[in-house]
Amino acid sequence: MRNISILGSTGSIGTQTLDVIRRHKDKFKAIGLAAFGSDRDIDLIVEQIKEFKPKIVAMYSEEGAEKLKKILAHDQIGHSPNIVLSAGLKGLIDVSTFKETDQVVTAVVGSVGLIPTLEAIKHKKDIALANKETLVCAGELVMKEIKKHDVALMPIDSEHSAIFQSLQGNRRKDLSKIIVTCSGGPFRDESIWPAEKIQEATREHALKHPTWNMGGKITIDSASLMNKGLEVIEAHHLYNVPYRQIKVVVHPESIIHSMVEYRDGSIIAQLGVHDMRLPIQYALSWPSRLVSGEYGFLDLIKTKKLTFFEPDFIRFPCLQYAYTAGELGGTMPAVMNAANEVAVVEYFLQNKIKFGDIPKAINHTMNSHGEAYKKGPALEDILKADEWAREHTRSVLDVVIADKSWKNVQ
């Protein structure tokens, strides 16, 4: 029996992780659950407590923790009163480092996942990682701790899971290239979306993802290819591969989830349906594989065809910025990530700026980071750079909005 703690149990990855656990009750136990603490979170986590009977639960918001405490005190859920309740960042850490936990699924969004994950690693918990910021912002730091404490870091992202699967049974020194596939997003077709038109694209244009529905932020990142850029940085850290050996190939059908090319020229690829339960399950069951439901099986005959294109770094400058930030390393990836998050979440998704303003804001913030840029940063350096980048991006975009132009941005 493997005891799993889930940071972000009420989100998309969290609930799918619980579905995997539900299907394999003989193998896995949801020992710890944590969520942000909104009213929706509380409703859902009460259901989860009833079903999975975790030993520890945390709400990130103190208010949410109070509400949940009252519900549990009144024993409204018919569960043992021995459940440990915790709150705040401390609560997330309590869940991720809980004594009986074997593996932590980090499925919270944003940099809030970083500290509880690092703490879990220090407590020798294996990690199943769905949180992008952990590796994008603090990849050097996190991988050092992973190595030091000798824990397994399993990717949950379908691309990184595919790379991991394609590396099995091969020697790292034989690897010649990682090929990360990319759907291309809604602006893929240049005949419909030439460079100038992408500049002017709105929230509504960008939210039309051709292959599947995801949350707002990640859908915009898929449209700008920033999502792929973040994955390139993650792949660099996860597999210790130089950026020049990580290639992106546009593959609109998204059936091949990624590939590894070896020095003999042979390419190993992992293919599958679009169902996050598969990489989640693999991250929990590795090196075994477990059965999945009918939903897990791909029919290549029905798929019919797979196509491949070169990514367009001109129309999608965010992909280039990610490579640049990755190559520079240090605090730069955190700065790029923060600038992107602010531009997308606080401005573009609020209909305050156009699509073309996102890369411009990122570029400006990266270029302004100069003096504060730091190699080999400690955690506090990363958090400081993140904070600075957010402020800088806001100040720049506020000028752009006021002027309706970039001409007064220094």
Interacting residue ranges for a second copy, rule: CB under 8 A: 165-171, 174, 179, 249, 256, 259, 261-273, 278, 281-282, 285, 287-292, 295-298, 300-301, 303-310
Give the burial class of 197: count Cβ atoms within 10 A of its Cβ; 0-12 exposed, 13-18 middle, 19 or more buried. Answer: middle
Which one, 307 or 367, has the nearer CB to a second copy? 307
In sequence order, what are the residues at sequence separation of 6 or more whose Cβ sits closer than 8 angstroms to the Cβ of residue 310? Answer: 249, 250
Residue 31 DSSP one-character state: E
Which one, 294 or 380, has the nearer CB to a second copy? 294
| Residue reference for tokens 């949410």 | 64
Which one, 192 or 291, has the nearer CB to a second copy? 291
Which one, 237 or 277, has the nearer CB to a second copy? 277
Q: Which 3-state string (H, E, C) describes 121-188?
A: HHCCCEEEECCHHHHHHHHHHHHHHHHHHCCCEEECCHHHHHHHHHHCCCCHHHEEEEEEEECCCCCC
Q: Are 280 and 262 in contact (CB under 8 A)?
A: no
Which one, 1 or 300, has the nearer CB to a second copy? 300
- Give me the amino acid identity at 53: K
Alpha carbons 370 and 388: distance in angstroms, whole number: 12
Q: Are 268 and 279 in contact (CB under 8 A)?
A: no
Give least dist CB 259 to a second copy, A. Answer: 7
Give least dist CB 402 to a second copy, A. Answer: 43
Which one, 103 or 219, has the nearer CB to a second copy? 103
Give least dist CB 310 to a second copy, A. Answer: 5
Give least dist CB 171 to a second copy, A. Answer: 6
Give least dist CB 162 to a second copy, A. Answer: 9
In sequence order, what are the residues at sequence separation of 6 or more whose Cβ sits closer than 8 angstroms to the Cβ of residue 400? Answer: 353, 357, 360, 361, 406, 409
Give least dist CB 219 to a second copy, A. Answer: 25
Which one, 125 or 251, has the nearer CB to a second copy? 251
Give least dist CB 153 to a second copy, A. Answer: 17
Alpha carbons 82 and 90: distance in angstroms, whole number: 19
Which one, 143 or 298, has the nearer CB to a second copy? 298
Give least dist CB 280 to a second copy, A. Answer: 10
Strands 267-271 and 256-262: antiparallel
Which one, 199 or 320, has the nearer CB to a second copy? 320
Give least dist CB 54 to a second copy, A. Answer: 25
- Give me the amino acid identity at 233: I
Q: For residue 270, what are its two tokens? A: 């992992």
Q: Are 186 and 209 in contact (CB under 8 A)?
A: yes
Terminal alpha carbon distance of the chain = 58
Q: Choose among 185, 3, 21, 190: nearest CA to 101.
A: 3
